[in-house]
Amino acid sequence: MTTVPTSGPLAPTRSVALDPGELPARATTLLEAGYRVALIAGHDDRTGGGGLRAVYLFTRAAEVAPREEAVRESRVELHIGLDPAAPCVPSLAGMSFPAGRFEREMRDLFGITPIDHPLPQRLVRHFHWPQGWYPMLSDAGEPPGLTPGTWTRGVITRLTGA
C-alpha cells in the first residue's frame, strides 16, 4: 500500500494493488464506509514493460470520514493487475450503478471483461469495429475504415444529395 500526498483540496490518496479476486470485498468495504465509485479505467502499460490493469477510484467527502480514523483519505485507488491474454475483473455493477457503466466502457475500449455483469451490452463500441479490436490498446493499430454497406443496423453510412 502506498500513500501519495496531493496538493490542494484533496486529502492523501491511498493506492492499493490487488488481485482481481480481492476486488469485490475491498469495494464492499469502501462503499460501506461512505465511498462512491468515481471512475474506473483501463490502462495498457505494455509498451513500458508492464501489463494491463484496471484502476478503480473511490472518493468520499471529508465530512463523511469519521474523526477517530487514523487516516482520512478522500480518495482510494485500487489497481488490479490483469492477464493480457484474458483480461477480466469481477463486476461491481450489482453494488454500484456507475461501476456498471464504467465497466462496459472499459470492455469496449480495452477488452477487459467484467465477469457476471448484469447488462453486458456494448456502451461505446461502434458497429463497424472488427471483433476483438479495442482502440485503447497499444497494439490496436489503425482504426478500421468505414466501408459503405458494412453496417446493417439502419445506420447511415453515406449521405447523398448534400
- What are the strands, taking DSSP E only, across the chain? 2-4, 13-18, 36-44, 52-59, 75-82, 88-90, 113-115
Which residue, chain included where needed, has cell 447511415? 156
Is the confidence at residue 158, as pLDDT, over 70?
A: no
The tens digit of pLDDT for each residue in 25-61 reads 999 999 999 999 999 999 999 988 889 999 999 998 7
Higher pLDDT, 35 or 159: 35
Instruction: Look at phi and psi of residue 45 and say left if phi exceeds 0, alpha if psi is from -120 to 50, else beta.
Output: alpha
What pLDDT is attached to residue 4?
41
The tens digit of pLDDT for each residue in 90-139 reads 999 999 999 999 999 999 999 999 999 999 888 888 877 888 899 999 99
pTM of the model: 0.77
